[in-house]
Each structure stands twice: as C-alpha cells, then as structure tokens.
Amino acid sequence: MKKLLKTTLPILVFSLSTLLFPLNSVGIKYECTGTEIFPDFYASPFIYKSTSLATSMAYDYYILGLLGNTLVWSFFFFSIHQIIVYFIRKRKTLIKLYKIVLTSLFIFLLIGNISEIQVSIQHIEWSIDIEEEAKLWGNICEPQWFYGN
C-alpha cells in the first residue's frame, strides 16, 4: 500500500501539473467565433478549462474534464515511469539519482499547483457542453492542436 502511494501520488501531481500549469504543454484549444465574445476552451483530450470573461488572469475549470484528463495523463506518466525503472533497476546510483530528481520535481510541481489553484481559479463547474453553449450564444467553435503556449 505504501509503495503504491509513493508511486501514484507523484504521477497524479505530474498529471495535474500538465493541466494546471500555465504552460499549456499539449492539447486542443477551441477558439470560438461569432456575434458574442466567447471564451477559449482547452482540452487534453477532455475540456477541462476555459478562459474567464471576467479577467484575463483566471480560468473557469470543469471537474469531469480535470478528472478524465488526470487519468489519461496518469497512464502516460505511469508508463514512462515503468520504462525508466525497467532500464535502471539494476543500477543503484541511477535509481538514487532518479528518486532525487522525482522528489525535487514533485515538490516543485506541488508548490506550483497550489499557487496556480490559488491564483487562477475563477469559477468551477461540473462539466460543459461546448456545442450547446456556443449555439446558445451564436458562436462556432473550431478545435486546433497546440504545442506549448
């Protein structure tokens, strides 16, 4: 149980960091055009946040999208972790170095996530139906892949 927690917690933090950090590393951005000002929506692969119309410094978050994306990214990071551990499992110094790097990164990302949550969350909703919302406001949303901000 303890080992599972030691492996799972950093992976969940890394996955959440992929979504919360303002780097917007990779994903889909729905840019909406039409008669009204409309927010941009971000997905990776599920819609998890949108720009807030109240301020440019904040986002509206969607719980179902965050949970779904966290699971997808957790699987990705868990796979990467397993591959690295497989190749360095017999080298004690590399394992120690890997643990130090993971611990340092975990602490950095945890602090970053906490500060990002405190600063950027404007509003939290359970989920959003982007097509319905866009139709209601007379907008059309086009998905576009992005890499980096």
Kindly report the backbone phi and psi dihedral angles of residue 25, in degrees, each rounded to the nearest multiple of 5, phi listed first.
-55, -50
Lowest-pLDDT choice from 16-25, 79-88, 93-102: 16-25
For residue range 1-59, what is the model confidence (pLDDT) as tens digits? 677 677 777 888 888 777 777 555 678 888 888 877 888 888 888 888 888 776 777 78
Cβ neighbours for 119, distance < 8 A, ≥ 6 positions apart? 57, 58
**CB distance 125 to 62 below 8 Å:** yes
**Helices (H) and strands (E) in the chain — how many of each?**
4, 6
Check residue 38 and give its pLDDT: 81
What number is the average pLDDT over the span 64-70?
Answer: 89
Tell me the residue range of the domain where 25 lies: 2-147
pTM of the full structure: 0.78
Q: Name the domain count of the chain.
A: 1
What number is the average pLDDT over the span 106-115?
Answer: 84
Check residue 25 and give its pLDDT: 67
Average pLDDT, the chain: 82
